Structures are given as structure tokens and as C-alpha cells.
Amino acid sequence: MLATFMEVLDTSVATVSLPHIAGSLSATTDESTWVLTSYLISNAIVLPTSGWLSSVLGRRRYQLASVTLFTLASMWCGAATSLPMLILARVVQGAAGGGLQPVSQAVLLESFPVERRGQAMAAYGMGIIVSPLVGPLLGGWITDNYSWRWIFYVNVPIGILALIMISTFVEDPPYIARRVKAGIDFWGLGFLAIMLTGFQVVLDKGQEADWFGAVWVRWFVAIAAVALVAFVVRELRTSAPIVNLRIFLNRNLATGTFLIGVLGIIIYGTTTLLPLFLQDLIGYTAYNSGLAVAPRGIGAIISMVLAGHLIGRYDERLLITIGVVIRGISLLMLGHLNLQMSMGSVVWPNIINGLANGFLFVPLTTLTMKTLPKELIGAGTGLYNLLRNMGASFGISLVTTLLVRGEQKHQTNQGAHLVATNPVYWKTLQGLTHYFAAQGGAAAHARALGEIYLGLKQQAMLLSYIDDFRLLGYLSFFCIPFLFFFRNTGAKDRPAPMGH
């Protein structure tokens, strides 16, 4: 959990520090976003290969090497003297962190019997849930009071403690020691890297370039699509694939990875929208918006404890349904926000939103891996985490695109009513014109029009945020029918290991 906490923390801790990083390294804010993108790309490439790497290197050695490299790369990030140096360090950091989550999950799932996996995943889930909430708050506080460099240096003591714990307690299962080491599938790794890099760059930068209106976006999508087809063909035909795609024949794994991808869209879409809403429309500072969102952690901790006790006693599908419904309700509550709201109007939906986390992550991970043989759990957790990250990237791009396009649509629709024949508009315009004229100065009529346009823009943006929150709420309920595809079997019903 320590290693995972450190890795997940670094996906969010730098977000509030980008303006400071850009200013310190003489870069534009747009250029500084590559600090986030470079990390995500290298992280995504390593995620699906983590099962293969842990079987070749040994799970314990791979985890120790990943934590060591991640800690050293964090020190390199903090000491960076230029933006290219920082981006290169983030690439190394993301590659080292790619295996931490799936390997940690595989260790836990194999170390505990089926009936105790829920409690183990609940303890592990504390790191997954709390770190994205702590990240923006911690990053903002460190940046304001010290320097952005310390958001990376803070990983060093955590990494050292994780190394001590892993070297003391983690052991390789016997089947990894007996496994014959296979050669590296360079072709598969190359196709995978091209596909995921193209996918990630398009999602991160597509909105800025007007998506398919840009020639380079069309080229990147085409190259990524060709690489995807080549990757699938290669992995299905080679005798030693770097990613065992045949494990998707396992119904629970296929269903679980699909659902975690959808939940990635919902969860990361929400965490992207709320700070933007609070800062752009309500006028909160970065730190205050973090305070308003942070209570989600209270609900998450409560639900993690509850879910750990309930798994094994109740059907996981029932617990996931409860989580999905809670998530949907909280998002529909956020769909009723307005410009005159109090902080409590954000805090309570966030607490309810956090309550969904324990009923989603813990039982979904447990049920997804429940029918996999132990030999395939490492590969399964790698693909599971990859789909979650891809869903997160898609979700962030989706909500930001819909936010911009929705604002334009609502502004056009509402602007059509601002005509001289509309008595409300005409009365407001005359009143504002007289007010600005009484204040003194020229162009009272133009200032009145500007004030009306500002109000129109705010209302259009508010309606666009509401549309996004409600869409994510409906998408939560969309997950429920897919829960019937799960097989809720015990350990004795597990299938034999699937060959290549």
C-alpha cells in the first residue's frame, strides 16, 4: 500500500503546481502540462507488461527495483534545472511506477484466502482512495509554503520505508521461481508503446487542437489504430506474448476490466470538473477548492471499512450495485449546483460520493480476479489497472470537451433571447445603462452590454457543468446491467490455468 500510495500521489500532486513549475523553468503553462502527460504515457506502457516483468524478474525483485527507481527518479525531478530534464525524469518515474499497483494487488490477492481478500483490498484501497484526495491539497500547501521541488522530494522517505517493508515481508510464490524465463517480445512491446503513446497524446492534447480538425491528430489516431491491430495479431500468434490477451476469455476479468474503464471515466471526470467549477465560477482559490473536495475522503474511509467486513458475507455484485447507485445519486446532486451555493452544497455530495468508493473498488477488484488462476493474477491486475488509467484519460478529455462545447451551445441558445423585443432584457439593459451613467465615465451603454454578456457567459458555463455532472450520473447507472455478466464462484470453481 505504501508503494501504491506513493505512485498514485504523483499522478495528482503536480496538477496545482504547474504554473509554478512553468515559471521556475522558463516554460509556458501549455508546455508544462507535459510534466503530467509524459508520466501517464510511460506509466500506461508498463502497466500491461507488469505481469510479464514480475514473472521474468521475480515479483519481489521487480517491486524492489520499481520502488528504488521511482524514488531516485523523484529526486531527479526535484533537482531538475530545465523542462526537458524534468520531463525525462517524469518518464522514468512513470515507467518505474507502472508496475507498483498491479504487482501490489497481485501480492495481496495471492497472500490471502478468498474469504479474507476483501479485508486485504480494503486496507490496500486506503492508499488508492486517499492519495488522489491528498495530492492536490498537499501539492498546493507545499508549493505555497516551500517550493514545487518538494512535491517530488516528499516521495523519498515514503520510498525508503516501502523498500524496508517489501524486503522484509514480500516473497515470490513458488510457481514464479519454477517458471522458465522467456525471451523479450520486442515486437509486441514496440506495438504496445506506439499504440498507447498515440492514444494518450491525442486524449491529452486533442481538445487544444480541436480534435480531428488538426492533421496531426488524424495521423496519431491512424498510427495508434494500426499499432493496436498489429499488437493484437502479434500477441495472439507468438508463443511468449508480453501481454496474454487470452485471459480476456475469462468472463469475470473481461467484465471487470470493462467496468473499471467506465468507472475511470466517471471518477476522474468528476475530480476534474469539481475544482474547475469551484475556481472558475465560484471564485475559490486552489487550496479552498481542495478543502471543499477533500471531505470525499471521509466517505471513502467509512465505506472501505464497511466493505472490508461485508465482502464474504454478501454477494459482491450487490455491494457494487450499492456503490454505483450511491455514485449516481451524488453526481445528480452535483447537477443541482448554482452560483449562489454555500460550501455545504459541495461538501455533502462529496461525502456521499466518497461513500461509493469502498463499495466499488474493493468488491470489483475481488470479483474480477476471483475466477483467475493464481498464475494469471499478475497479468490480470496489469490489464485491469491499464483499463482504469485509459478510462481516466478518456474521462478527463470527455468532460473538458463537453464543457467547452456545452458552454458554446448554451451561450448561443440563451443569446437568442437577448433582443430588444424581450422586455426583461430591455429593462435590464436600461437599468444597467442608467446605473453606469450615474457612476460617471463614458460608454455606459457598452459597459451595460458587457455586464449582461458576463452574466450570460456565467450561466452558459454553469449549465454546461450541470450537463456534465448529470451525464456522469447517468453513466453510473449504465454500469448496473453489466454486473449480471459476473460469475460469483468460489475458489474451488476456478478454471485450470489458460495456456497461450
Checking if the pLDDT of 180 tops 60, the result is no
pLDDT at 206: 84
Domain boundaries along the sequence of the chain = 1-183, 184-239, 260-500
What is the CATH T-level fold of the domain 260-500, as seen in this structure?
Answer: Growth Hormone; Chain: A; (1.20.1250)
**Three-point CA angle 430, 433, 436, nearest 5°:** 150
Checking if the pLDDT of 495 tops 70, the result is no
Question: Of the spans 343-352, 472-481, 489-498, which averages the highest pLDDT?
Answer: 472-481
User: Cell numbers of 412, please?
Assistant: 448561443
Cα atoms in the 13 Å half-sphere on the side-chain side of 275 = 21
Q: What is the mean pLDDT of the chain?
A: 85
For residue range 226-237, list pLDDT tens digits in order.
999 999 999 999
Identify the residue with better confidence: 182 or 310: 310
Quote the CA–CA distance of 471 and 331 in Å, as a whole number: 9
Identify the residue with better confidence: 473 or 175: 473
Q: Return the HEC string of the chain.
A: CHHHHHHHHHHHCCHHHHHHHHHHCCCCHHHHCHHHHHHHHHHHHHHHHHHHHHHHHCHHHHHHHHHHHHHHHHHHHHCCCCHHHHHHHHHHHHHHHCCHHHHHHHHHHHHCCHHHHHHHHHHHHHHHHHHHHHHHHHHHHHHHHCCCCHHHHCHHHHHHHHHHHHHHHCCCCHHHHHCCCCCCCHHHHHHHHHHHHHHHHHHHHCCCCCHHHCHHHHHHHHHHHHHHHHHHHHHHHCCCCCCCHHHHHCHHHHHHHHHHHHHHHHHHHHHHHHHHHHHHCCCCCHHHHHHHHCCHHHHHHHHHHHHHHHECCECHHHHHHHHHHHHHHHHHHHCCCCCCCCCHHHHHHHHHHHHHHHHHHHHHHHHHCCCCCHHHHHHHHHHHHHHHHHHHHHHHHHHHHHHHHHHHHHHHHHHCCCCCCCHHHHHHHHHHHHHHHHHCCCCHHHHHHHHHHHHHHHHHHHHHHHHHHHHHHHHHHHCHHHHHHCCCCCHHHCCCCCCC
Q: What letter represents residue 209's amino acid? A: A
Quote the CA–CA distance of 437 and 454 in Å, as a whole number: 19
pLDDT at 490: 53
**Contact present, 163 and 23 (Cβ < 8 Å):** no
For residue range 238-295, list pLDDT tens digits in order.
888 888 899 999 999 999 999 999 998 998 888 878 877 887 788 877 667 777 877 8
Quote the CA–CA distance of 87 and 481 in Å, as a whole number: 42
Backbone phi and psi for residue 241, each to the nearest 5 degrees, phi listed first: -70, 145
| Range with the poorest average pLDDT among 210-214, 232-236, 357-361, 496-500 | 496-500
Please tell me if the domain spanning 1-183 has the same topology as the one spanning 260-500.
yes
What is the CATH T-level fold of the domain 1-183, as seen in this structure?
Answer: Growth Hormone; Chain: A; (1.20.1250)
For residue range 390-421, list pLDDT tens digits in order.
888 888 888 888 998 999 999 999 888 888 88
Question: Could you tell me the pLDDT band of residue 100, with boundaries at 50, 70 and 90?
Answer: confident
Residues 6+ apart with CB under 8 A from 61: none
Which of 250, 264, 272, 314 shows the shortest CA–CA distance to 494?
250
Taking residues 152-158, what's their average pLDDT? 89
pLDDT at 255: 96
**Contact present, 126 and 354 (Cβ < 8 Å):** no
Query: CB count, 10 Å around CB of 342?
Result: 7
pLDDT at 494: 44
Q: Quick one: what percent of the chain has pLDDT higher than 70?
A: 91
pLDDT at 85: 93
Q: In angstroms, what CA-CA distances link 486 with 86, 252, 254, 256, 368?
A: 43, 5, 9, 8, 8
